[in-house]
Amino acid sequence: ECGMLVPPGDPAALKAAVMRLLRSKTLREKMGRNGRKRVVENFSWQIAAENTLAVYRDVIRKYRSRR
């Protein structure tokens, strides 16, 4: 858990979520750790390079299969 979802256009729900975070240092720290972990696992330069390479390989494979 690294975020809170609130219904769009619901300021009361947004306020409640923000207040919950402001009142709970433990929850803020937990969400911060989880968010950092998610970023490292999914959005590092290494992952970005691997995903880009996968797209290039897929495009090349599709191009070659049309010939």
Q: Give the pTM.
A: 0.64
- Tens of pLDDT along 19-52? 999 999 999 999 999 999 999 888 889 999 999 9
Q: How many C-alpha atoms does 10 have within 13 Å on its Cβ side? A: 10
> For the chain, how are helix, strand and coil distributed in percent, rounded to 5?
80, 0, 20
Q: How far apart are CA 25 and CA 35, in angstroms?
A: 15
Angle CA(52)–CA(1)–CA(51) in degrees, nearest 5? Answer: 5
Band of residue 1 on the pLDDT scale cut at 50, 70, 90: confident
Contact (CB, 8 A) for 6 and 14: yes
